[in-house]
Amino acid sequence: MIARPFFSVPLPRREPLLLGARTLVMGILNITPDSFADGGTHFNPTIAVESGVRMVADGADILDVGGESTRPGAEPLDEREELRRVVPVIEELAARVTVPISIDTYKASVARAAVRAGATIVNDISGLQYDAELGRAIAQTGAAAILMHTRGRSAGMYELAVYDDVITEVSAELRTVLARAAAAGIAAESVILDPGFGFAKKAEHSTALLAQFDALAKLEHPLLSGPSRKSFLKTAIGERIPAERDWATAAAVTASVLYGAHIVRVHAVRAMADVVRVADLIRDSRMKSWQSRCSVQQ
């Protein structure tokens, strides 16, 4: 186990996001009728806002609002419809909660509107590949950027899930993402990286990435882990609908924390906040023991 580095990620209009002392919980708020994991529960804006408020009460440190389903095979959503779904929810949440709000989008116009509405983080599944203007939009708004590894678009990403050494290749491709962000003017300290479980990856690839998550520390950026209810968990537990994968998610979240994730992105906030607290306790205890042994040896 390696020490988890500390980071201070600047955010517009608020204090920086401090990462490393404890694992932060990001609550997923999908404003979609076809979410793979919650079946469109939050498609109604009023319900979505109340759910977001409840997630914060249950332990969410960040809320991630998304208006377009990005599950494998999903169809792209019209920009106007995405704006119609997310902007009112973000505006209302920004007035009612104190935690940072993230917008889950790969569109520059949606990112700009969301930041104006109160979001301070842009969560881009494309790693700045889908919209050439998104990087500039993030840089100009001063928002933090969560940049994920993927290959291709949702409809054909599994055809590109071919790896000789998944951790080495994903790490190399994330370095390309970092170079893309720098070229767009995004400050290095504003970037958080996500290896993208399930995106252009078969189950064995996602499992291997999680098992070697600590190797991603070499990228020298904060790390987000998003295993919540993903299909790769079925390799261990068998065929289950997404809503019945929370126990499996808890195991993946625990591994994420022990292997150095700074943020975990989850659906079941209340339960996973407890999982994170215990995993952090175990990690901290092990680190103290390791540091004590190193001190004695010196």
> pLDDT digit string (tens) for 230-263?
999 999 999 999 999 999 999 999 999 999 999 9
pLDDT at residue 32, rounded to an integer: 85
- What residue segments make up the domains of the chain, in order of their start? 7-297
pLDDT at residue 256, rounded to an integer: 98
What type of residue is 112? R
Q: What is the pLDDT of residues 50-94, one digit of tens each?
A: 999 999 999 999 999 999 987 666 678 899 999 999 999 999 999
Span 28-32, mean pLDDT?
93
pLDDT at residue 289, rounded to an integer: 79
Span 137-161, mean pLDDT?
94
> Which of 74-83, 104-113, 201-210 is least confident?
74-83
Span 111-132, mean pLDDT?
97
pLDDT at residue 43, rounded to an integer: 65
pLDDT at residue 246, rounded to an integer: 98
Query: In the chain, what percentage of residues exceed pLDDT 90?
Result: 84
User: pLDDT at residue 38 above 60?
Assistant: no
Asked if 128 and 134 count as a contact pair (C-beta separation under 8 A), the reply is yes
Level-2 CATH architecture, domain 7-297: Alpha-Beta Barrel (3.20)
**Average pLDDT over all residues of the chain:** 93
User: pLDDT at residue 176 above 80?
Assistant: yes
pLDDT at residue 273, rounded to an integer: 98
Q: What is the reported pTM?
A: 0.94
Q: What is the pLDDT of residues 47-59, one digit of tens each?
A: 999 999 999 999 9
User: pLDDT at residue 1 above 70?
Assistant: no
pLDDT tier at 116, thresholds 50, 70, 90: very high
pLDDT at residue 61, rounded to an integer: 98
pLDDT at residue 35, rounded to an integer: 53
| Residues catalogued as catalytic | 230, 265
CA-nearest of 181, 192, 190 to 264 is 192
User: pLDDT at residue 139 above 60?
Assistant: yes
